[in-house]
Amino acid sequence: MLDRIPNKEDIVRAAELIKQYINRTPVLTSATFNKRYHSEIYFKCENFQKVGAFKSRGAVHAVVNISEPDRKNGVCTHSSGNHAQALARAAGLFGIPAYIVMPENSPRVKIEAVRNYGGIITFCKPNLEARETTLKKVQEQTGAIEVHPYDNYDIIAGQATAAMELLEEVSDLELVLCPVGGGGLLAGTALAVHSFSLNKAKVIACEPDGADDAFRSFHKGEIVPSISPHTIADGLLTSLGKRNFPIIQEYVQDIVTVSDESIIEAMRLIYERMKIVIEPSSAVPFATVTTRKIDISGKKTGIILSGGNVDLKQLPF
């Protein structure tokens, strides 16, 4: 298990370790979008990742990096969705149980998916305190090792491999846009860009107005917890992790927020023009482009599409 901020070699090693268990996801472009925004936009499609989200990268890496004797009683976590599925699947790959604490109001599609991957679910009230208390209990009963969804260096190194792959294909990016919730993907992306970008690309974090704790933390210089966040981007509700924040402070150039309305519109545009299914959280970075909150004209821009696990009966457009 990594006990410090992952460096370039850690990310390369993570990519090697997880390679056989995850998809190398495609990088897609849209002629329409490139024309409209006078740019070249490269979408790294983690919606095509195993379990439908980048979370598979970190989860597999975390499980691989726990020694065999340590992981024999399984792993556990609390998660509102994608990390839960990813950890359940990762545990299954290594023949160990995954105990998942989920808020009782999680989307149906995510609950079913966790079960399909063999995860053992304990439901709790939808607040952080209930999640943590319930998880403690589960841990005491089972002896499972906790794999935090984002506040974990192995997770961060695993998530970093998405941007690493993107830069392998498009080495001269100038901007990389990434959504931020707890900061696992963002910290990983920032470290990967720092390690592998030829052009020293800028990393811009993108966040919903209704869950702008990262924006406030970034500008205040200390972690401001996410209290009663409200946004369609249900993957971005959590507060920044304490391991994630210093990485973000050092390697992220700016954080930009967008309204739910613009997130929904960006999501619809991606479905309509790119013909791919993404979840609302994935649309947050592109919403900063469509609203011209970030001016990408003339700049080669990478966008991490984080996942595609959405309740298709509840599409917001």
Q: Residues interacting with a copy of itself, by CB under 8 A?
A: 26, 47-48, 52, 109, 268, 271-272, 275-278, 308, 312-313, 315, 317
Instruction: Output the smallest distance, CB 24 to a copy of itself, in A.
Output: 13
Instruction: Output the smallest distance, CB 74 to a copy of itself, in A.
Output: 23
Instruction: Output the smallest distance, CB 258 to a copy of itself, in A.
Output: 20
Rounded Cα gap, residues 231 and 246, in angstroms: 25
Q: Which is nearer to a copy of itself, 295 or 311 (CB)?
A: 311
Rounded Cα gap, residues 289 and 104, in angstroms: 34
**Cβ distance 55 to 84 under 8 Å?**
no
Instruction: Output the smallest distance, CB 67 to a copy of itself, in A.
Output: 28
Instruction: Output the smallest distance, CB 166 to a copy of itself, in A.
Output: 17
Residue 258: strand pairing partners:
208
Angle at 83 between CA 78 and CA 87, to 5 degrees: 90
Instruction: Output the smallest distance, CB 278 to a copy of itself, in A.
Output: 7
Instruction: Output the smallest distance, CB 106 to a copy of itself, in A.
Output: 16
**Cβ distance 222 to 196 under 8 Å?**
no
Q: Which is nearer to a copy of itself, 228 or 314 (CB)?
A: 314
Q: Which is nearer to a copy of itself, 13 or 268 (CB)?
A: 268
Among the residues of 53-202, which ranges form H helices? 55-64, 68-71, 82-93, 108-116, 128-142, 153-169, 184-196
**Cβ distance 98 to 86 under 8 Å?**
no
Q: Which is nearer to a copy of itself, 53 or 248 (CB)?
A: 53
N-term to C-term CA, the chain = 42
Q: Which is nearer to a copy of itself, 166 or 277 (CB)?
A: 277
- Beta carbons within 10 angstroms of residue 168's beta carbon: 12
Sign of CA dihedral 23, 183, 300, 34: positive
Instruction: Output the smallest distance, CB 69 to a copy of itself, in A.
Output: 30
Q: Which is nearer to a copy of itself, 213 or 265 (CB)?
A: 265
Rounded Cα gap, residues 14 and 173, in angstroms: 22
Task: Give Cα separations from 253 to 2, 176, 205, 245 (angstroms).
Answer: 25, 10, 8, 13
Give the containing element (helix H, strand E) for 16: helix 8-18
Q: Which is nearer to a copy of itself, 220 or 313 (CB)?
A: 313
Rounded Cα gap, residues 129 and 156, in angstroms: 23
Q: Which is nearer to a copy of itself, 250 or 272 (CB)?
A: 272
